[in-house]
Amino acid sequence: MNIEKVWFGFFITLAATLNFGFWIGDMDRPELHSVWGLTGAIVVSLIATVLKFGDRTQLGAVHLATSLVADVQLIIGAIIWSWAAQSPAGMTGAMMAQVVSMSGGALLANIISVVLMVSETITIRR
């Protein structure tokens, strides 16, 4: 067993599941979406991105691209949340919907990354 592949698969899958945990729920209800859930999704997504830097294959490049997309969208969501929390109106339903939308885009990128990982695993010949 290759321990690097185990950690790679672990962090890719954890990034997707944490993102899903944040994303699920009514888009416009801030009380259903935890700031800690978004923070955890960002941190694990960034770790998964760093783990993807060593792969020099074409599939590795696509893995890295999907991870960068997820990182950017999650970070934009966090920026929107921070900005809304500091505004006089506070976190409104419309602002939370924008944060959750960004998380949804990141979730799609994470799902693509997991599908790529599974397909790569299936196609490996021993």
For 102-113, the pLDDT digits (tens) are 999 999 999 999
Q: Indicate if the pLDDT at residue 1 is higher than 80.
A: no
In the chain, what are the helix, strand and coil shares in percent, each to the nearest 5? Answer: 85, 0, 15
**Predicted local distance difference test score (pLDDT) of residue 25:** 86
Sequence ranges of the domains in the chain: 3-123
**Predicted local distance difference test score (pLDDT) of residue 125:** 67
Average pLDDT over residues 24-32: 87
In terms of phi and psi (left: phi > 0; alpha: psi -120 to 50; beta: otherwise), the region of 98 is: alpha
A 10 A CB-CB count for 100 gives 25
Q: Which residues of 75-90 are buried (b: 16+ CB within 10 A; e: fewer)?
A: bbbbebbeebeeeeee
Average pLDDT over residues 23-48: 91
Look up the pTM and report it: 0.89
**Predicted local distance difference test score (pLDDT) of residue 28:** 85
24 sits in which H/E element: none
CA distance 67 to 61: 10
Q: What's the mean per-residue pLDDT of the chain?
A: 91
pLDDT digits (tens, 9 = 90+) for 50-92: 988 877 888 889 999 999 999 999 999 999 999 999 999 888 8
Residue whose tokens read 């691209």: 65
Residue 6 main-chain phi, psi, to 5 deg: -65, -50
Q: Assess contact for 45 and 72: CB atoms under 8 A.
A: no
